[in-house]
């Protein structure tokens, strides 16, 4: 009688600045028999050194990180370490983001709303060097936000900055925003300074007025 072959373990490194999400994702995937979580990276600037140390089969990388974002990190990893099997996790389904990651060399792109089973399927596909993009992204109308695209192009705002402007418009303070989106208050304050510089405004009142007038 032939014995069933034991699946080869896929070594996974998770890179995400949100510690709760990073650790939670590791716990969620830990019981998959063919996966081994070899490490967690909480600061994207440390990613290259840890990739060299762990030699993971698959890198699961967050799109939006404050130090080096997922797109720049993908480019840096491939340029400095060599070809990598990279799976991006993102809240954004716009086609232009997906195309940017394709061109940068990522093999997979999944929404953070994915189920465990969907994410496992993506990791296993990327581990085999297959291209895998979230099937839900086929329905672009469900995810694309034309208004966001205008703000990103016209005002050079990042998706994170648009998100922060909306929280400010809703009356949240920097500490409240930091708690809501799991970033440090210092990072939020830095984003606010950048927003003011990009929009050419100086006061909170001006920012709120901008948000209301543009219906951001």
pLDDT in tens, 167-197: 898 899 999 998 888 888 999 999 999 999 9
d(Cα 23, Cα 16) in Å, to the nearest integer? 9
Residue 137 pLDDT: 74
Share of the chain above pLDDT 70, in %: 89
Which pair of structure tokens corresponds to residue 174?
Answer: 């920097």
Torsion angles phi and psi, residue 89, rounded to 5: -110, 130
Task: Give one word for 196, left, alpha or beta, with left for phi > 0 and alpha for psi -120 to 50.
Answer: alpha
Confidence of residue 138 (pLDDT cuts 50, 70, 90): low
Which residue range is the domain that position 185 belongs to? 146-214
d(Cα 96, Cα 112) in Å, to the nearest integer? 17
Angle at 152 between CA 208 and CA 102, to 5 degrees: 150
Both 135 and 200 in a single domain? no
Residue 170 pLDDT: 86
Which residue, of 140, 157, 191, is where some domain finishes? 140
Whether 117 shows a pLDDT value over 90: the answer reads: yes
Residue 149 pLDDT: 56
Both 40 and 136 in a single domain? yes
Which residue, of 122, 140, 158, is where some domain finishes? 140
Q: Mean pLDDT score of the chain, rounded to an integer? A: 86
Whether 19 shows a pLDDT value over 60: the answer reads: yes
Q: Does residue 1 belong to any structural domain of this protein?
A: no
Q: How many domains does the chain have?
A: 2
Q: Does residue 125 belong to any structural domain of this protein?
A: yes
Whether 151 shows a pLDDT value over 50: the answer reads: yes
Both 111 and 200 in a single domain? no
Query: DSSP character for 42?
Result: S
Both 104 and 122 in a single domain? yes
Confidence of residue 49 (pLDDT cuts 50, 70, 90): very high
**Cα–Cα separations (whole angstroms), residue 54 to 47, 67, 114, 173, 180:** 10, 21, 26, 39, 32
Which residue, of 96, 116, 140, is where some domain finishes? 140
Share of the chain above pLDDT 90, in %: 56
Which strands make up the sheet holding 10-15, listed edge to edge? 35-41, 10-15, 58-62, 86-90, 108-111, 132-133
Q: What is the CATH number for 18? A: 3.40.50.2300
Q: Does residue 3 belong to any structural domain of this protein?
A: no
More confident position, 94 or 169: 169
pTM across the whole model: 0.63
Q: What is the CATH number for 200? A: 1.10.10.10
Both 108 and 180 in a single domain? no
Whether 147 shows a pLDDT value over 60: the answer reads: no
Confidence of residue 5 (pLDDT cuts 50, 70, 90): very low
Both 34 and 99 in a single domain? yes
Q: Which of 35-39, 133-137, 177-181 has the lowest mean pLDDT?
A: 133-137
Strand runs labelled E in the chain:
10-15, 35-41, 58-62, 86-90, 108-111, 132-133
């Amino acid at each position: 009688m032939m014995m069933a072959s034991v699946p080869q373990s896929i070594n996974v490194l998770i890179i995400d600045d949100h510690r709760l999400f990073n650790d939670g994702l590791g716990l969620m995937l830990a019981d998959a028999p063919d996966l081994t979580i070899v490490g967690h990276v909480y600061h994207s600037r440390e990613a290259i050194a840890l990739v060299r140390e762990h030699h993971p089969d698959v890198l699961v990388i967050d799109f939006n990180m404050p130090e080096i974002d997922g797109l720049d990190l993908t480019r840096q990893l491939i340029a400095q370490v060599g070809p990598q099997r990279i799976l991006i996790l993102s809240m954004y389904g716009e086609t232009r983001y997906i195309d940017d990651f394709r061109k940068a060399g990522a093999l997979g792109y999944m929404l953070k709303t994915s189920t465990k089973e969907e994410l496992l399927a993506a990791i296993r596909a990327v581990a085999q060097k297959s291209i895998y993009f979230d099937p839900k992204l086929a329905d672009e109308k469900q995810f694309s936000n034309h208004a966001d695209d205008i703000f990103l192009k016209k005002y050079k705002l990042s998706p994170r900055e648009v998100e922060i402007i909306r929280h400010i418009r809703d009356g949240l303070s920097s500490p409240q925003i930091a708690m809501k989106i799991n970033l440090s208050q210092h990072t939020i304050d830095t984003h606010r300074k950048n927003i003011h510089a990009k929009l050419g405004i100086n006061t909170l009142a001006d920012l709120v007025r901008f948000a209301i007038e543009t219906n951001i």
